[in-house]
């Protein structure tokens, strides 16, 4: 299979959310000595761009986005050894720590954000749900993250987004990270009130804002 045909097929496999097809294609590409980095940047990633745009336009839904993310992740898992063997590295836009704040166990929105950020080229450290303030601080310190994403789906837990920002300030880390918040009860006004750097309406919005926040640095 020629490289251009392979790249188009990889994008289709991601759009269709087919992990088996995606891994089969990258294995074929490696066997044909095609560039593994090109397969990611020019095949898999454009596919995620398409599905992200469709999700933003309500042309597809959460299960579609999840399956597309799985297809991309499965393919990258096959390509990673080849990248390391050839001493190639994907360009990393930034390091992101994300999590659902203390008291809140909602995970789907956060997971979607993590999937799209990974596809964009961010190194994502997902802390999970019900994450205490000190764990965010520890993760930022340990990973050297320059972006923090805080999810809250309840009005009773959204105040803990403020708590994380205050904890980062107390630890002397606030100036080195941008903070993006999201979740149904949150708003741009709430982000301004708690001195977050940005508010994201949905996963696609979060990926776009993350790029702009890192570019602004």
Q: What is the pLDDT of residue 49?
A: 85
Task: For residue 136, count other CB atoms closer than 10 A to its CB.
Answer: 29
pTM of the model: 0.74
Distances (CA, A) of 50 to 43, 55, 95, 199: 11, 9, 23, 23
Span 3-85 CATH architecture: Orthogonal Bundle (1.10)
The domain segmentation of the chain, as residue ranges, is 3-85, 95-216
Strands annotated E in the chain: 95-100, 123-126, 147-151, 178-182, 198-200
The DSSP output letter for 101 is B
Give me 24's structure tokens: 């089969």
Give backbone dihedrals phi and psi of 159, rounded to 5 degrees, phi first: -65, -20
- The predicted-structure confidence for 133-145, as pLDDT tens digits, reads as follows 999 999 999 999 9
d(CA 190, CA 15): 34
Q: What is the pLDDT of residue 80?
A: 84
Task: For residue 203, count other CB atoms closer than 10 A to its CB.
Answer: 25
Q: What is the pLDDT of residue 135?
A: 98
- The predicted-structure confidence for 4-61, as pLDDT tens digits, reads as follows 999 999 999 999 999 999 999 999 999 999 999 899 889 998 998 898 889 878 899 8
User: Which CATH number, 3.40.50.280, 3.50.50.60, 3.40.50.2000, 3.30.530.20, labels domain 95-216?
Assistant: 3.40.50.280
């Amino acid at each position: 299979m020629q490289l251009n045909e392979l790249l188009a097929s990889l994008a289709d496999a991601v759009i269709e959310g087919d992990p088996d097809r995606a891994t089969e294609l990258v294995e074929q590409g490696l066997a044909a000595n095609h560039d593994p980095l090109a397969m990611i940047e020019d095949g898999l990633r454009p596919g995620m761009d398409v599905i992200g745009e469709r999700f933003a336009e309500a042309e597809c839904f959460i299960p579609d986005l999840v399956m597309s993310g799985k297809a991309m992740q499965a393919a990258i898992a096959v390509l990673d050894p080849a990248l390391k063997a050839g001493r190639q590295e994907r360009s990393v836009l930034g390091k992101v720590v994300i999590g659902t704040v203390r008291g809140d166990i909602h995970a789907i929105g956060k997971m979607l954000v993590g999937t799209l950020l990974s596809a964009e080229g961010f190194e994502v450290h997902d802390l999970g749900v019900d994450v205490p303030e000190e764990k965010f601080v520890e993760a930022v310190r340990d990973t050297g993250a320059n972006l923090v994403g805080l999810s809250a789906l309840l009005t009773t837990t959204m105040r803990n987004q403020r708590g994380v920002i205050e904890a980062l300030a107390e630890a002397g880390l606030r100036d080195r990270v941008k903070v993006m918040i999201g979740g149904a009860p949150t708003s741009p006004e709430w982000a301004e009130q708690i001195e977050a750097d940005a508010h994201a309406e949905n996963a696609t919005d979060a990926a776009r804002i993350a790029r702009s926040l890192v570019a602004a640095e």
